[in-house]
Amino acid sequence: MKNFFEYILFLSFSFFCRIFGLRLSRKFASVIGFIFFYFIPIRRKVVIDNLQNAFPELTENEIKKLAYNNFKNFALTLVEILILPGLDDKDLKNIVSFDEIEKLKQLYDLGNGVILLSAHFGNWEYGALSIALNIEKKIFVVAKAQRNTQVNNWIDKQREKCGNEVIPLGISIRNVYSALKEKKIVALVADQRGPAESIKLEFFGRKTSVYTGPAVLSLKTNSPIIYGLTIRQKDLSYKAVFKEISRENLPDNNDEKVKVLSERILIYLENVIREYPEQWFWMHKRWKH
């Protein structure tokens, strides 16, 4: 029953966002961010603790301001996702600008699978949809299932509206491997804390568990890793940036290869987050392990 009421509430918010339109919904997002930061402070302490760990040089007021902006940015992403049923292919194709999308096309044309790696940054959902439309290729999106099955089905339907295909996380490794061997583009979001038994690497100067799946898949399938991020601009448009993670000069030992490649991925992500810290999802305990 709880899941049903959550789903009805979710659909209601989506309906009202579509009625108001993207511009007005984005203004309403600022109100949502304000309410959840000051009056319903879910995850506020986690965000502040994470920011203090990542930016020890900032004052208490600077951390609080950054945390507040992070809540506003997350609220923006939320309403932008809720309005997805009201956007057509033309909207989604133009909502993100690309300076370097030719790099992704060139790698795909070489005849290898491509790992399109991303993070919970800016609006990652808009990124995958817009990329697929701009390169006119299906993207296989690996996604973790939400607790609420009905909400999860709604989100997956939006992820597939541009011809993409969702591969559920968990039982998906064989399907991901097959897609890469078949020279497809596979999108992964792997920026959150890895399992306790995983390797530990430095992230903002502190050791943390990481997911090594992207590095392992890249090495096993000889698929290049392209890190793609959609960066929200001041006018609330998006700019996509792409970075190929170098696989040159890796150690001979396979475990060390995985470690070094995973480290290169993490270093790139950290550098971008440092430039736009309010746009990353700080609401999980990144340094728990």
Mean pLDDT of 65-87: 96
- Kind of pairing between the strands at 200-203 and 206-209: antiparallel
Mean of the per-residue pLDDT values of the chain: 92
Check residue 38 and give its pLDDT: 95
Q: Which of 58-62, 115-119, 171-175, 188-192 shows the lowest per-residue confidence on average (mean pLDDT)?
A: 171-175
**Which residue in 109, 113, 261, 106 sits closest to 190, CA to CA?**
261
CB neighbours of residue 239 within 10 Å? 14
Give the residue, 112 or 138, on which the prediction is more confident: 138
pLDDT band of residue 144 (cuts 50, 70, 90) is confident
Which three-class secondary structure state does DSSP give residue 155?
helix
CB atoms within 10 A of CB 4: 10
Residues in the chain: 289
**Beta-carbon contacts of residue 26 (< 8 Å; ≥ 6 apart):** 76, 79, 80, 236
Q: Is 114 helix (H, G, I), strand (E, B) or coil?
A: strand
pLDDT range class, residue 1, cuts 50, 70, 90: confident
Better-scored residue on pLDDT, 16 or 108: 16
pTM of the model: 0.93
Question: Quick one: pLDDT at residue 85?
Answer: 94
Q: What is the mean pLDDT of residues 81-106?
A: 87
pLDDT of residue 108: 78
* pLDDT exceeds cutoff 90 at 46: yes
Output the pLDDT for position 201: 96
Please choose, from the candidates 262, 274, 155, the residue with its C-alpha nearest in 3D space to the C-alpha of residue 205: 274
The Cα-based distances of 283 to 53, 63, 66, 70, 91 in angstroms read 13, 14, 13, 9, 29
Confidence grade of residue 4 (pLDDT, cut at 50, 70, 90)? confident
Q: Tens of pLDDT along 96-136? A: 998 778 778 777 777 789 999 999 999 999 999 999 998 88
The percentage of residues in the chain with a pLDDT greater than 70, rounded to a whole number, is: 99
Q: Does position 162 have pLDDT exceeding 80, yes or no?
A: yes
Return phi, psi of residue 232, to 5°: -70, 130
What digits encode the pLDDT tens for the residues 192-218? 888 889 999 999 999 999 999 999 999
pLDDT at 171: 62
Tokens of 255: 């475990």
pLDDT of residue 111: 75
* Percent of the chain predicted with pLDDT > 90: 74
Checking if the pLDDT of 62 tops 90, the result is: yes
Average pLDDT in the 257-286 region?
96
Identify the architecture of domain 92-282 in CATH: 3-Layer(aba) Sandwich (3.40)
Compute the average pLDDT of residues 259-265. 97
Evaluate if residue 172 carries a pLDDT over 70. no
> Domain map of the chain by residue range?
1-86, 92-282
